[in-house]
Structure 1
Amino acid sequence: MGIPTPTTPQGKEGLAALLAEPGRAVVALDFDGTLSPIVPDPDQARAHPGAVRALSGLAPRVRSVAVVTGRPPGVAVRHGGFAGVPGLEHLVVLGHYGAERWDAVTGEVHAPAVHPGVLTARAELPGFLDRIGAWQGTWLEDKGRAVAVHTRRTEDPDAALDLLKGPLGELAERHGLVLEPGRMVLELRPPGMDKGVALAEYLNEVGAGSVLYAGDDLGDLAAFGAVERLRAEGLPGLLVCSGALDEGGEPTVAELARRADLVVDGPGGVVALLEALADVLSI
Structure 2
Amino acid sequence: MIDLDGLDGPLLVALDFDGVLSPIVPVPSDARPLPESAAAVRALAEAPDTHVVLVSGRGLADLAAVSGFGPPVLMVGSHGGEFGPGLLDGDTPLLTEEQQALKEKLTLALTDLVEGAAGVTLEHKPAGLAVHVRNAAPEVGEQVLDAVRRGPATWDGVDAIEGKSVIDLAVLQVSKGTAVDALRERFGARVFFAGDDTTDETVFTRLRPGDVGVKVGEGDTAAAHRVTDPAELSTVLAELTSRRKTPRAS
Partner of 1:37: 23
In structure 2, the gaps of 5 or more residues are none
Give the corresponding residue for 2:59: 72
Deviation at 1:46, TM superposition (A): 1.1
What does residue range 87-236 of structure 1 map to in structure 2 within 5 Å?
Answer: 89-103=71-85, 110-114=91-95, 115-116=99-100, 117-130=102-115, 135-156=117-138, 159-169=139-149, 170-208=151-189, 210-227=190-207, 231=208, 235-236=209-210
The residue matched to 1:196 in structure 2 has which SS? helix
Q: What code does the residue aligned with 1:271 have?
A: S
SS of residue paired to 1:167: helix
Query: Contact conserved, 1:33 with 1:267, CA < 8 A, in 2?
Result: yes
Q: Report the count of equivalent residues.
A: 239
Q: What TM-score, normalized to structure 1? A: 0.77
Identify the structure with the greater helix proportion: 1
| Amino acid aligned to 1:215 | G
Q: How far did residue 172 of structure 1 move?
A: 2.5
**Distance 1:125-1:176 versus aligned 2 partners, 3 A rule:** same
TM-score (norm 2): 0.86
Aligned amino acid, residue 16 of structure 1 = D
Alpha carbons of structure 1 residues 272 and 110: separation in structure 2 relative to 1, 3 Å: farther
Q: Match for residue 273 of structure 1?
A: 236
- Secondary structure (helix, strand or coil) at the match of 2:34 reads coil
1:16 paired with 2:1, answer no
Distance of aligned partners of 1:30 and 1:120 in 2 relative to their CA distance in 1, 3 Å threshold: same
Measured in 1, the distance between the counterparts of 2:146 and 2:164 equals 17
Distance verdict in 2 for CA 1:153–1:53, change over 3 Å: same
Name the CA distance, whole Å, in 1 between partners of 2:123 and 2:17: 16
% of aligned pairs identical?
A: 28
Give the whole-Å Cα distance in 1 for the aligned partners of 2:119 and 2:33: 25
Contact kept? 2:127, 2:172, Cα under 8 Å: no
Amino acid corresponding to residue 33 of structure 1 in structure 2: G
Offset at 1:161?
4.2
In structure 2, relative to structure 1, the CA distance for the partners of 1:24 and 1:196 (3 Å cut) is same
Query: Structure 1 unaligned runs (5+)?
Result: 6-11, 84-88, 244-250
1:202-253 residue CA offsets vs partner (Å, 9 max, x unmatched): 1111111x211100111111111222xxx2xxx521110111xxxxxxx2xx
For residue 45 of structure 1, report the CA deviation from its aligned partner. Answer: 0.9
* Deviation string, structure 1 residues 72-93 (Cα, Å, up to 9, x no partner): 122212211112xxxxx43220
Tell whether the 8 Å contact from 1:101 to 1:111 is kept in structure 2 after alignment: no
